Each structure stands twice: as C-alpha cells, then as structure tokens.
Amino acid sequence: MRTFNTAGPVRPDEHYTVPALARWDMDEIRRLIGEKRYFVLHAPRQTGKTSCLLALMEKLNTEADYTALYVNLEPAQAARGDVEAGIRTIIWEIVESAHLHLGEQRLENWAAEASRKGGSYSALRNLFSRWSRENHRPIVLLLDEVDSLVGDTLISLLRQIRAGYPNRPRAFPQTILLCGVRDVRDYRIHNGDNQVITGGSAFNIKSKSLRLGNFSHEDVATLYAQHTEETGQAFEAGVIDYVFAQTVGQPWLVNALGYEACFEMKAGRDRAQPISLTIMADTREKLIERRDTHLDQLADKLREPRVHKVISELLGGAIEPGAMPPSEDDQLYVRDLGLIRTRPQVEIANPIYREIIPRTLTWIAQTRIPQETAWYMTEDGRLDFPKLLDGFQQFFRENGEIWIERFDYKEAGPQLLVQAFLQRIVNSGGRIDREYGLGRRRTDLLVQWPLDESQGFHGPVQRVVIELKILHKSLEATIAEGLSQTTDYMDRVGTDEGYLIVFDRTPEVPWEEKVLARQEQYEKYRIGVWGM
C-alpha cells in the first residue's frame, strides 16, 4: 500500500505523488540544456528538489540524447575547509553515483589518475574533462546539496567548474545544475582572512536561477485523490481547501497532514469513515505540538541574525524606531529558507509556520510562568477573560521586563509574553490562532476554548478575540484604532467577545500612567481595554 511521503525522495511505487517533472517548466529546462547553460535550482528543504532531479536524470537518460547523473554532495560537508578531504569525498560520490545510476565503472580509475595529476585543486576538473572526452554523449550533471559545503571546499568546487566551463561539451559537461536551499548568490564563504566571498563571484557562469514552488491547490487535490482511489476513504467537502489554506501548498506539510490524518490518528484509520474537517484540524494541532524534524529545523533558523532581522519585524508588526531594516539579501535568504513569502506582501509563509514561530520563541516562558489551574475558570466552564487579563496585567508589571530581556526577539517581547501566558492556559484543551505581519502594527489572537470536555471542538466553543497593540501615537488614538481593528476581527470570526491590550513601551512613563482597565462600547460590541 502506498502512503504519504514525509522523508526523503518520493518513490512512486511507495508514495502518493505529484508528477515531479510537472512541477517545473520542462521546456525551459530543455532549452537551458540545449544552449549548454549552467544554472541553479533552489527551494526550501523538503519541497521535492531531489525527487525532481532524480526524475530529470531518468527522463534524460531514457531519451538518450545526454548522459545525465545525479550526485548528492552532502557527505562532503563534514570536510568543511579541508579541500583535500572535501574534493576527495565529492569525487567518490560521483564515482559511486555513476556506478549506481549509469552502470559506469571507468570513473574510479580516472578519478585516481585525475588526483595524481594535479592534486585536490584540479582533480575534479580533470575527472570531468576525461569523462566528457571519453563519453559518447554530452554530460548533464545534477549536483544536489551544493550549499551544504563549507569554506574552501565550496570555493574549490565552484572554481574548478568555472575553469572547465569554456571546454564544454567536448571536454567538460554540457550542463551543470547546482541545487540547494539557497541561490548561489547567497553561498557566503569565509576565506582564511575572515573575508566573505559570495558564491556569485566564485560561480559567475550561472545563467539562471530556478525556484521550485509549492504545490498548487490542484496538486493537493491530486495527491489526496490517490489515497481515496487506493483505500476508498474520502475527504469531506472543504478538507482540501483547508489543507491548502493552512499549508499554502508546502509539500512536506501537505504530506504530513495527510499521513497523520489517514495513518496515525485512530479516527482516520477507519477507511469506512471520511476524513472530516474536525479530524484535519486536530491533525494540524498535533503536528504543531509534535514539531517534527522539518519544523524543528525551521525553528532553529530563528536564531540566525539575518533571520532575526526579518522575523522580528513581522512579529512586532513594524520597523522599530532607529532600527535598520533588513537588506534585500536578508529578505531573500529568509524566503529561500521557506520561512516567509514576499507576494502579495511580506508575511510568514503559511498559517502553520505562523503558529509554530511564536510558540517556539516562547516555549521556555510557557513552561516557567507559574499558573494555577482553576482561578481563571467560571462555574459554567468558560474562560473568565477579564479576570485572566487582570492577572496578566499584574504579572506584566512585576515580571514583564525580566522576561522580555530573556527573549531572543526583544522587539516583539510584549506580544510574545502575552502569547506565552495564554498558551500556558490553553494547553490544557484550547487553541490560539494568530495573525500578524509587517505593517499591521498589531497582533490578532483568536482563543478557542471547548465548553463541553466530552465533545471537545465537536461541541460548543467559546471564541475570544484579543488584539495586541504597541502605543505608537496618543493613547486615545491608539485605542480608537485598536477598537476598530478588534471589531473587524470579531466580525470575521463570528464572536461577540473581544479585548484590546495596549502596551506603552515609553521608558520614562511611570507604570501608574500606563495601567488601565475599562470597558468601551464600539458599534454593537462591548470591548474590554487593558493598558500596561
């Protein structure tokens, strides 16, 4: 039985799959190869790059106009700046891949001869030259995980390829495709003098950079339809739309949701029962809570200074006064990692990442903030938000600055701290949905709390909107703007319970002037307003 793939290249006999070569423009690929171009393919991790390269190799070799070879260079990463060890590892990977995929055994002898002739700094070029001269078809090399290489090893690889480039195709590969998470322009290599050499300067023969995109809505439907065809298990109306909305087509997330819902969750393993929206929503939450390797790797990137510059603006909703905005390279780098998208505007790449990022940044706070289990509950099982926000206001007065200093993302400290405080509470059964982004100057939270423990989210649910704003003009103007935004969000999610929190970050203003708690009537809603 086939299943959804969440690790490694797709195998069509084992996994449901979107046809790999349908995910990029094959006419363009053929043109680039025909014109003897060297080019780059890049995309975030686990989006299907390797599957596409393997499919391209198989297609080209079947057509017999070229000899195509896929090689994974990641094993050479451990060599770091040791050129001799790194190039030796790369050559061995080429030899092994040629033997595995092409049945080609001559390269082993040629590799030893190439190394003897010129040493590590020309061995790769010599090997490619010999193979190209001896081969009866032009060679197309597909080099994967190139940007995993480090330092002088990467420089040597790029420059040996560049040195042989003028001799193609008679004495060098006709086309070389470099594949990785990042575009070659962002291969930042530190030489022995601690100067940065960009990959673009070491590989200025690149003609084009291609980016592998996410699944389309049609792709998601195609993938999930294969499960229905093989098992008879249907997906209820709206499930495909929900999956696409939550993932924006990110391939690993699409597959992970499918696998969790259909194979891991007990409710989804009964093939006679369709996968409902409720099951898929529960699946999303389990995926976020579990934070598998793919999600953990992305979370780890949040510590990088270049990533921090971009994400901190999105979390805070605006550029901090006096702060330098991220450079174009920084923003493109974070996009290449898959953390953000830049069209139609700069924002976190999808709702699942949008949920994971603040949870990751506040995890320590969530586990350390003291919290009683029942003081915030009413007799009918609802969350008593006025009481809860009074408690947070006092907590923020006593501990806010201490906790904000502990955060890596201090710029968004108040917003993160209130989210940690709330997450600590809803972990016992509720959910928080978040909306934030550059230019919003606010963070929108939707807290959902099941009112019937036996039914969970299948039964009645308390829905509460909380709007977080940083004071950026007068208090009354900020409140007026916040009330309008709060009611707009309440209308969109269909609730009549909403609260506005305004944080005054002005150092010289005493606490007594910042603190407030009152009710405001705005249009048809009664909204609680807290200042701190």
pLDDT, one tens digit per residue, over 297-335 is 877 889 898 899 899 989 876 665 556 778 888 898 899
Q: What is the pLDDT of residue 197?
A: 52
**Average pLDDT score over residue span 332-350:** 91
Confidence of residue 376 (pLDDT cuts 50, 70, 90): confident
Residue 126 CB contacts under 8 Å (≥ 6 apart), including other chains: 113, 114, 115, 117, 118
Q: What is the pLDDT of residue 373?
A: 56
**Average pLDDT score over residue span 61-83:** 96
For 181, the 3-state DSSP assignment is coil
Listing DSSP states for 467-500 in one string gives: EEEE--S-HHHHHHHHHHHHHHHHHHHT-S-EEE
Listing DSSP states for 208-231 in one string gives: EEEE--PPPHHHHHHHHHHHHHHH
pLDDT, one tens digit per residue, over 253-297 is 999 999 999 999 998 999 999 999 999 999 998 998 887 777 878
Residue 491 CB contacts under 8 Å (≥ 6 apart), including other chains: none
Residue 192 has pLDDT above 50, yes or no: no
Can you tell me which residue has the tokens 């174009």? 328
Phi then psi for residue 229, to 5 deg, are -65, -40
- Give the Cα separation of 67 and 97 in Å (integer): 13
Residue 194 has pLDDT above 50, yes or no: no
Residue 209 CB contacts under 8 Å (≥ 6 apart), including other chains: 39, 40, 41, 42, 183, 184, 185
pLDDT, averaged across the chain: 90
Inter-residue contact 171 to 132 (CB < 8 Å): yes
**Average pLDDT score over residue span 9-31:** 94
Beta bridge partners of 531: 502, 516
What does pTM read for this prediction? 0.88
Residue 178 has pLDDT above 80, yes or no: yes
- SS3 for 334-386 is HHHHCCEECCCCCEECCHHHHHHHHHHHCHHHHHHCCCCCCCCECCCCCECHH
**Average pLDDT score over residue span 479-503:** 96
Confidence of residue 150 (pLDDT cuts 50, 70, 90): confident
Looking only at the bridges linking them, the beta strands covering 188-190 and 38-42 are: unpaired
pLDDT > 90: percent of the chain: 68
Handedness of CA 215, 216, 220, 225 (dihedral sign): negative
pLDDT, one tens digit per residue, over 420-455 is 999 888 877 889 999 988 777 789 999 999 998 888
